[in-house]
Amino acid sequence: MKQFLITGGAGFIGSNFIRYMLDKHSDIKIINLDKLTYAGNLENLKDVESDSRYRFVKGDICDGSLVDSLVQESDVVVNFAAESHVDRSIGKPDDFIQTDIFGTFQLLEASRKHGVDRFIQISTDEVYGSIDKGLFEETDPLMPSSPYSASKTGADRLVYSYYVTYDLPILITRASNNYGPYQYPEKLISLFVTNAIEGKPLPIYGDGLNVRDWLYVADHCSAIDFVLDNGKIGEVYNVGGGNEKTNLEITDLILKTLNKPDTLKTFIKDREGHDRRYALSIQKIKELGWQPEYIFEDAIIETITWYQENREWWEKLKNGEYLDYYKSHYNQDL
Ligand code: NAD
Ligand code: TDX
């Protein structure tokens, strides 16, 4: 029985990953350490709560003694815990620096003290910054442009330094934009789908021509599982879906699928430091034997349907102080 410590497991990708791992592997146990910030939601994991292989611990990855005791009983650490939303990092970077960098440091320190079989850091394509043409490779320079991506870059390189300096058996994945069920309704797809269902405006930043590469969350989960088993210690692996779309293309697709009018499209001021395009080469992980399985055109429809069928999950999340910040920052109701 391998003991996994999964941090941030009550969030979007972490909860999908826990479900994926419990379904796929009978010989693992999982501790989910999550602070339950606004983004953490135990309703994401209702169906696994009673699984005897699963245990939830409410706590902060910055809490050194708690982290120490949980790492001590673990073989594998998977670090999802982070502040993850770029717009929030523009408004208030503090928690990003604290959790994304200092929290990762606490996990690394405990891992080096107790020794773990694997430490995998869930990093992001945003560490590279923006690219007008071509694809980022793992060896390209890191040029993050928001406090979010800079904090993730700090963590990414700190993890690497524990491999070089202390021989900690680390792996790093850098994934592109995820979409799928249980995504907090603040990110482009989850926000626009839920706004469209409610007949509310879809706030498009700038000209709407920024490009993202969309990865279905189940593909991200399978990539992490695959890298844990097959990745070479100390290496970074890009994980992309190969689905480059402008924000306007995504918006049009959502409106068309939900049969909502074009008049919901609302162009507002641009995000500060807005990266124009993210695009990854996934040659390295492909050569190792992984590639995405889901077809964007099908998975996006499944995702939209999920939000239609799970209104009670997201309706209660769409309130609170972020709406006030968003309104004053972008002069737009969400
Ligand atoms: P999310 O915001 O939905 O979830 C983050 C989770 O971390 C929440 O459950 C939250 O409660 C928890 N958390 C936050 N601070 C914590 C702390 N100090 N201690 C313990 N738990 C804490 O984020 P997500 O979209 O699921 O992203 C998960 C990870 O994947 C992040 O590290 C993010 O940078 C990375 N990533 C995300 C994407 C994407 O498109 N969403 C793409 C690439 C990489
Ligand atoms: O209201 C909006 N209007 C809009 O035009 C929002 C929320 C977003 N956008 C644009 C900004 C981006 O060009 O849509 C694009 C995607 O925005 P987000 O969903 O906020 O994602 P992004 O900034 O690309 O970052 C995401 O991908 C990488 C995740 O939030 C990160 O956690 C991940 O690391």
* pLDDT (tens place) for every residue of the chain, 334 residues total: 999 999 999 999 999 999 999 999 999 999 999 999 999 999 999 999 999 999 999 999 999 999 999 999 999 999 999 999 999 999 999 999 999 999 999 999 999 999 999 999 999 999 999 999 999 999 999 999 999 999 999 999 999 999 999 999 999 999 999 999 999 999 999 999 999 999 999 999 999 999 999 999 999 999 999 999 999 999 999 999 999 999 999 999 999 999 999 999 999 999 999 999 999 999 999 999 999 999 999 999 999 999 999 999 999 998 766 677 777 788 877 7
Q: Which of 12, 84, 87, 188 to mutate to test the pocket of ligand 2 (most atoms within 8 A of CB)?
A: 188
Active site residue 278: no
Report the C-alpha gap between 243 and 322 in whole angstroms.
Answer: 30
Distance 262 CA to ligand 1 centre (A): 32
Distance 185 CA to ligand 1 centre (A): 14
| pLDDT on residue 309 | 98
Active site residue 312: no
Looking at all shown ligands, the one closest to residue 146's CA atom is 2
Tell me the sheet residues that pair with 119. Answer: 77, 170
- CB of 35 shorter than 6 A to ligand 1: yes
What structural domains does the chain harbor? 2-180+214-243+273-294 (3.40.50.720)
Residue in 106, 93, 90, 87 with CA at minimum distance from that of residue 35: 106
| pLDDT on residue 102 | 98
Catalytic residue among 34, 125, 213, 275: 125
Active site residue 235: no
Which strand (E) or helix (H) includes residue 256? helix 247-257
DSSP 189-254: HHHHHHHHHHT--EEEETTS--EEEEEEHHHHHHHHHHHHHHPPTT-EEEE--S-EEEHHHHHHHH
| pLDDT on residue 330 | 84
| pLDDT on residue 321 | 65
Report the C-alpha gap between 11 and 171 in whole angstroms.
Answer: 21
